[in-house]
């Protein structure tokens, strides 16, 4: 998590609960109760808090103005808030990258690296 004095408006630290992995073409997305928070039942809309303290409503799991700068020198790209979707540090484990990944979990073991995300 990038919640420190160097955090920016692209570092999302808190949001409404999101759909499982933010994958928009899956039954888990289309059936997610998280789509109902702000009126639409077909698109996720949520409120996000950024590392710089700003708060705003965004219209997608890929918010406008939020991009990830890969740590391996690749160009900026879109960042799904609810999916560790970049493999720039370790192509076999995207959770090691520095992109936004907002989850609720019931296990986060720093020693083993095990994380168990909990979805609807």
Beta-bridge mates of residue 57 = 47
pLDDT at position 10 over 90: no
For the whole prediction, is pTM greater than 0.85? Answer: no
pLDDT at position 5 over 90: no
Tens digits of per-residue pLDDT, 32-78? 889 988 888 889 999 999 988 899 999 999 999 888 989 888 899 99
Query: What are the domain boundaries of the chain?
Result: 12-117
Alpha-carbon span 118 to 108, nearest angstrom = 11
Tens digits of per-residue pLDDT, 14-35? 999 999 888 888 888 888 889 9
Cα dihedral value 14, 105, 118, 115, nearest 10? 120
Helix (H, G, I), strand (E, B) or coil at 108: strand
Beta-bridge mates of residue 49 = 14, 55
């Amino acid at each position: 998590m990038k919640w420190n004095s160097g955090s920016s408006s692209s570092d999302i630290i808190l949001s409404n609960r999101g759909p499982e992995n933010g994958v928009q073409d899956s039954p888990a997305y289309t059936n997610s109760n998280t789509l109902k928070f702000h009126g639409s039942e077909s698109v996720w809309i949520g409120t996000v808090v950024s590392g710089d303290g700003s708060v705003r409503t965004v219209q997608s799991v890929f918010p406008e103005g939020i991009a990830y700068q890969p740590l391996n020198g690749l160009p900026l790209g879109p960042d799904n808030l609810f999916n560790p979707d970049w493999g720039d540090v370790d192509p076999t484990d995207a959770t090691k990258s520095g992109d936004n990944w907002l989850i609720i979990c019931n296990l986060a073991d720093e020693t083993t690296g095990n994380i168990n995300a909990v979805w609807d």
